Amino acid sequence: MNHTKMAFSISLFFLVSIFPFQCSSSLSSLNKGSSLSVEKHLEDIIVPQNDLFSAGFFQVGGNAYSFAIWFNEPHPHNPTTVVWMANRGQPVNGKRSKVSLLQTGNIVVLDAGRYNIWSSNTASNKSTELYLKDDGNLVLRELHGTILWQSFDFPTDTLLPGQPLTRHTQLVSSRSQSNHSSGFYKLFFDDDNILLLVYDGPDVSSIYWPSPWLVSWEAGRFRYNSSRVAVLNSLGKFTSSDNYTFSTNDHSMVMQRRLTLDSDGNVRVYSRNQASKWQISWQFIFDTCTVHGICGGNSTCSYDPKRGSRCSCLPGYKVRNSNDWSYGCEPMFNLNCNSNEATFLEVPGVEFFGYDNNYVPTTTYMNCLNLCLQDCSCKGFQYRYGGGQSSSCFTKIQLLNGRHSPTYEGAIYLRLPKSNNYSMEQSVSAYDHVRSVLLPKDYVGKRPSRFVRFFLWLATAVGALEMLSLSLIWVLLIRTRQKSSADPQGYNLAAVGIRKYSYPELKKATKGFSQEIGKGASGVVYKGILSDQRHAAIKRLNEATQGEGEFLVEVSIIGRLNHMNLIEMWGYCAEGKHRLLVCEYMENGSLAENLSSNTLDWSKRYNIALGTARGLAYLHEECLEWILHCDIKPQNILLDSNYHPKIADFGLSKLLNRNIIKKSNFSMIRGTRGYMAPEWVFNLPITSKVDVYSYGIVLLELVTGKSPTVDIETVVGEEAYNGRLVTWVREKKSGQSWVDQIVDPRIGQNYEASKIEILVKVALDCVEEDRDVRPTMRQVVEMLQCQESDAQ
């Protein structure tokens, strides 16, 4: 390591300047009493044996330098990627500044030869050296002895493979891509052992990841491992002690990698081959508009999966600093407290997170408006249409974290002076283009969002709020939910990267598509064994109706849906006309097979009902673009080795052809008419309530053991959909001791009548003709869940 001990001797400098091309000017280490000088920042650099990194003075501005570590660039035109910085907020002068390893064993950065602006606070009387390891870790150690200091213990905004984030460290974003000073975003473990992203702005701070309205277990996090350590390995697998894990989309390949908390508040993993450019191979947040503070106050963020996100000022507001939207927008009007001089402008489909002065769960628009008028500090109100009684009102004292959300059924009403003609958004930023510029060929970033759920949570978990800080809300949600909930599992949003497979690879895995295990309208499913010995269900879609790009977008949406009651997608293949999906394999086959072979006792059936409802609720409510299943039936509910249900084939309606939802393609779903909602026949709008209907029928089948499938060729129109099964159960239910009469005789006597009653009630609600009367899947889960915890 120490082969340039002479490096700092005057004679070597002399030689270097005479023979600049002959001699590698970099050093392998720095010894006591020697320094790196800012004037020679091009040659005074420490380089590891593998030559991948450099440590030395890095120019951050005109006459400003910081002591840093960066990736060596194969191409002189590539921008340098800094991975660590000692004095990020306090660069030093380009004259007489130095990094020195003092005789005391302390490393110091001296500005203009005088001011000590950074030091490692180390001391040693032994011989020590500062050197850069092959993994990018700058280490100060006593010769053949103790490590006194290492840069891996003091990360800035980047973790390198093998560098752990611990309870003592955090990542802090840069202020902007060019300004390396500390920015507003932080990644760290909180006191509950959960890895968090926090916006820590000049005025306010709030947690935005995991989604603040999810309790930790719903976000797939585990609070009870206090080791608090997270690390990315060199093959692209990230593991955190709170069970947030993922594999990058290029995992198991040998590449250069880094994990960076970018200045826009998102954490991204970048990777590259030796000579190529950095590509995003994973990101924590897919819809960047869910990052708090991104557009500043009085503005809204809109997200487009192809173009990225952009900010715009609300009507009546103008941007403060168009080069830096985090300053937000300022009003162009003066509002006084006189309610006669105020009016409200509706901005539909826009949602503002937090800063509610008042929350009224069921109220009219006029009440909400008056509530805002009476309060001088009210800047506007959020009114969420819930249909009839359930509309809710939130009056806002600040307009922060605004976001366009196409599925949000509500609007923000801005308080403006009466004599105004503001109607348009006044200033609009350009798209950040993060998505389109950096989108590598098999990476598509688009993440269903859970923003919609915030107000639901607010309504159920917290009552009227009085200006609680967002973090307090979050903590409160955790505490209240944790106590009331008996279910420690649930959502597992921590998605795992999906892999691209080649066609020959899958052909081999399925032994030439020999073992067929299922068949449906969309294609045939084969059993296969992947090269890593995992058993997989490999679905071969019938026809390539979509281009590769569009297919990949949909696959990535489906692939990132991750829930214990949804079949997990591991990968896909899109080559030529071949379109295949690789999914997990379920030992116990489908619910249909199990119902007919009489393997399901009463408690298994109840768990299947509950699990299926959870999976569907997740599909309906967690996704920005609601994913309707449209083909819920026992054949599509698979059972794992413990008879836990997992829904298969969700999202296929998206993959095959969007038109499947139109009546013209009715034939595709003919075979399962017994489970179909009347909307299909009457050509009514198709909403998530079609799945609720089908689910209701499956419940009835679970209880009675009778299949609803009617003779599809002979029945046309209304009757078919009222199904004999539904009518039969309704009739029985009006009589005496009906439970015993309808229950599947194969269950035997070992069942709880009260739970059957609930199941049947829920089922009949679900199969109501009028889709507005049917409950949502979330409500179904609540009804079944509370029944379950009563029993415990």
Q: Which residues does the annotation mark as catalytic?
A: 631
Shortest Å, Cβ 148 to ligand NAG: 10
Shortest Å, Cβ 101 to ligand NAG: 15
Handedness of CA 680, 684, 690, 696 (dihedral sign): negative
Shortest Å, Cβ 398 to ligand NAG: 7
Q: Catalogue the E-assigned strands of 176-283.
A: 182-189, 195-200, 205-209, 230-232, 237-240, 245-247, 256-261, 267-272, 279-283
Centre a 10 Å sphere on the Cβ of residue 466 and count the other Cβ atoms it contains.
Answer: 9
**Residue burial 558-570, b: 16+ Cβ < 10 Å; e: rest:** bbbbbbbbbbbbb
CA 168 to chain centre: 25
Of 208 and 355, CB closest to ligand NAG? 355
Shortest Å, Cβ 754 to ligand NAG: 30
CA distance readout (Å), 495 to 238, 484, 559, 652, 748: 11, 26, 8, 19, 40
Helix (H, G, I), strand (E, B), or coil: what is residue 547?
coil
Handedness of CA 464, 468, 471, 476 (dihedral sign): negative
Which of these, 93, 86, 96, lies nearest to 36 by C-alpha position? 96
Shortest Å, Cβ 251 to ligand NAG: 17
Q: How far apart are CA 520 and CA 744, in angstroms?
A: 27
For β-strands 569-575 and 499-500, DSSP reports them as: parallel
Give residue 465's region: left, alpha or beta (phi > 0; psi -120 to 50): beta
Helix (H, G, I), strand (E, B), or coil: what is residue 702?
helix
Handedness of CA 250, 256, 260, 263 (dihedral sign): negative
Of 501 and 618, CB closest to ligand NAG? 618
Instruction: Provide the token pair at 19.
Output: 């023979």
Of 245 and 709, CB closest to ligand NAG? 245
Shortest Å, Cβ 310 to ligand NAG: 18
Of 337 and 753, CB closest to ligand NAG? 337
Of 119 and 276, CB closest to ligand NAG? 119
CB 348 within 8 A of CB 382: no
Q: How far apart are CA 377 and CA 466, in angstroms?
A: 13
Of 372 and 699, CB closest to ligand NAG? 372
Q: Which residues bind ligand NAG (CB under 6 A)?
A: 61, 123-125, 175, 179, 181, 222, 225, 227, 229, 239, 241, 243, 296-298, 328-331, 379, 419-421
Q: Which residue is nearest to ligand NAG (CB)?
A: 297
Q: How far apart are CA 297 and CA 278, in angstroms?
A: 32
Q: How far apart are CA 65 and CA 87, in angstroms?
A: 9
CA atoms within 13 A on the CB side of 476: 13
Of 281 and 298, CB closest to ligand NAG? 298
Q: How far apart are CA 230 and CA 242, in angstroms?
A: 8
Torsion of CA 562, 563, 568, 569, to 10 degrees: -30
Q: How far apart are CA 63 and CA 756, in angstroms?
A: 77
Q: How far apart are CA 267 and CA 210, in angstroms?
A: 12
- Listed as own residue / partner, the contacts of 332-338 with beta carbons closer than 8 Å and 24 or more positions apart are 332/422, 332/426, 333/416, 333/417, 333/420, 333/422, 334/417, 335/415, 335/416, 335/417, 337/376
Of 309 and 492, CB closest to ligand NAG? 492
CA distance readout (Å), 331 to 311, 328, 335, 414, 664: 16, 10, 9, 11, 51
3-class SS letters over 10-22: HHHHHHHHHCCCC
Of 291 and 329, CB closest to ligand NAG? 329
Phi (first) and psi of residue 415, to 5 degrees: -85, 120
Shortest Å, Cβ 613 to ligand NAG: 20
Which of these, 622, 761, 617, lies nearest to 689 by C-alpha position? 617
Shortest Å, Cβ 548 to ligand NAG: 35
Question: Would you say 539 is a known binding-site residue?
Answer: yes
Residue 203 makes CB contacts below 8 A (sequence gap 6+) with none
Which of these, 160, 232, 161, lies nearest to 195 by C-alpha position? 232
Shortest Å, Cβ 433 to ligand NAG: 21
Shortest Å, Cβ 87 to ligand NAG: 13
Which of these, 694, 583, 687, lies nearest to 633 by C-alpha position? 694
Q: Is the peptide bond before 212 cis (omega within 30 degrees of 0)?
A: no
Of 227 and 338, CB closest to ligand NAG? 227
Of 228 and 654, CB closest to ligand NAG? 228
Shortest Å, Cβ 105 to ligand NAG: 7
Shortest Å, Cβ 179 to ligand NAG: 4
List the beta bridge partners of residue 35: 100
CB 691 within 8 A of CB 616: yes
CA 14 to chain centre: 56
Of 219 and 595, CB closest to ligand NAG? 219
Q: How far apart are CA 270 and CA 255, in angstroms?
A: 10
Binding-site residues for ATP, please?
539
Pick out the residues of the known binding site: 539
